[in-house]
Amino acid sequence: MLWALGVPSTFDNARNLGGDARGTLKPISLNGTIAAYYLIALDSFMMVGFVVIAGMIFLQRLEDPMGVFVPTVLVLTGMLYTAPM
């Protein structure tokens, strides 16, 4: 939930590219909005991957204390490695 709240601000930050990034994207006719969509899509797929794996572990090991701890750490790690936080 917290990760999703950070998506709009990350999109705005990614859309406002610096001079070097603009210069790199200009020859291939891309602008900052497309780069921002790309960043959000990659972060979303990565976060979904972390959550799906954590959910599978959680459902398989529900009675084990480590079966609750490890999925929690996976989801928090996914939030750490993606931009919208």
Give the range of the structural domain holding residue 11, as residue numbers without chain letter: 2-81
What would the pLDDT profile of 63-83 be if each residue is shown by its tens digit? 888 889 999 999 888 888 776
Helices (H) and strands (E) in the chain, counts: 5, 0
* CA-based radius of gyration for the chain: 17
Choose between 9 and 19: higher pLDDT: 9
- The pTM of the full predicted model, rounded to 2 decimals, is 0.72
Total domains in the fold of the chain: 1
